[in-house]
């Protein structure tokens, strides 16, 4: 069982839409178990018919919080005749935490910090007025939160040309990057999905709901679609990525 699971979970594309565009079919496997369950003691391991599940690196698939482990098990129980990793974002995130982030926490934290130097919410449109207003409504509360919570004062820029941020602001916000591998991985995931470490930190501290954080990340895209019409492919791709966002939010909620 372990070799089979390693084969279908290792190197899976995070975005099924991208995989389809590249003619890459996510690997699936005929369901070989009846029920997924969770161990009684922390760390809470996930079992398939009483047998422990292993990550691609042959480590125990276990979560630090009971509700998180049950959410992972629920993904396995929700599978039909085929086990499809693309429909199991929380399991895939758990694999990343256990196999990669736990051993490379400093590098992951540095990647998040790198976003602070050119964060999405700091780059504003000069026009039209409607887009400027939409950006301000979504992003100003994020900047206000990091300023009040962390003492980090970021500088706004107009357009897309890089504008250096004060090192004091970056350092202040960087102190809020979590050290715990699970929370760190979740913040990293949100940062990558949204293009904003500040949105990720606001979500991790409960200053934004997952819905508001996701909307804040798509202000420009939503405004463009409001003007020119809906982009079906973009919305399908966004929906798939939103599942990754929800998985990260579950980790943050479980660790709070």
| Cα–Cα nearest to 47, from 68, 13, 70, 78 | 70
Does 2-99 match 103-255 in CATH topology?
no
Q: Walk along the chain (256 residues) and give the pLDDT tens digit of each residue.
A: 445 556 556 655 444 334 433 444 568 899 999 999 999 999 999 999 999 999 999 999 999 999 999 999 999 999 999 999 989 999 999 999 999 999 999 999 999 999 999 999 999 999 999 999 999 999 999 999 999 999 999 999 998 889 999 999 999 999 999 999 999 999 999 999 999 999 999 999 999 999 999 999 999 999 999 999 888 888 888 998 999 999 999 999 985 4
Domain extents in the chain: 2-99, 103-255
> Three-state DSSP class for 124?
strand
Distance CA 153, CA 129 (A): 25
Domain 2-99 has CATH 3.40.640.10: no
The torsion angles phi and psi of 156, rounded to 5 degrees, stand at: -85, 145
Which token pair is 100? Answer: 């990669």
The CATH architecture of the domain made up of 103-255 is Orthogonal Bundle (1.10)
pTM over 0.75? The answer is: yes
C-alpha pair distances (Å), 158 with each of 121, 123, 144, 162? 11, 6, 18, 10
């Amino acid at each position: 069982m372990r070799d089979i699971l390693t084969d279908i979970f290792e190197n899976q594309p995070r975005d099924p839409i991208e995989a389809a565009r590249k003619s890459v079919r996510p690997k699936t496997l005929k369901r070989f178990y009846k029920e997924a369950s969770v161990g009684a003691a922390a760390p809470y391991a996930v079992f398939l018919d009483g047998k422990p599940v292993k990550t691609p690196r042959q480590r125990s698939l276990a979560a630090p919080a009971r509700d998180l482990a049950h959410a992972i098990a629920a993904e396995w129980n929700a599978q039909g005749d085929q086990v499809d990793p693309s429909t199991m974002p929380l399991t895939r995130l758990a694999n990343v935490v256990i196999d990669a982030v736990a051993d490379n926490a400093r590098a992951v934290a540095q990647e998040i910090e790198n976003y602070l130097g050119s964060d999405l919410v700091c780059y504003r449109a000069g026009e039209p007025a409607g887009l400027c207003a939409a950006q301000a409504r979504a992003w100003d509360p994020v900047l206000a939160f990091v300023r009040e919570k962390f003492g980090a004062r970021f500088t706004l820029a107009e357009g897309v040309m890089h504008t250096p941020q004060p090192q004091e602001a970056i350092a202040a916000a960087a102190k809020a990057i979590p050290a715990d591998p699970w929370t760190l991985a979740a913040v990293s995931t949100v940062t990558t999905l949204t293009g904003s470490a500040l949105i990720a930190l606001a979500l991790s501290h409960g200053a934004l709901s997952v819905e508001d954080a996701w909307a804040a990340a798509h202000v420009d895209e939503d405004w463009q679609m409001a003007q020119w019409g809906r982009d079906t492919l973009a919305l399908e791709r966004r929906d798939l990525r939103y599942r990754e966002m929800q998985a990260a939010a579950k980790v943050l909620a479980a660790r709070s």
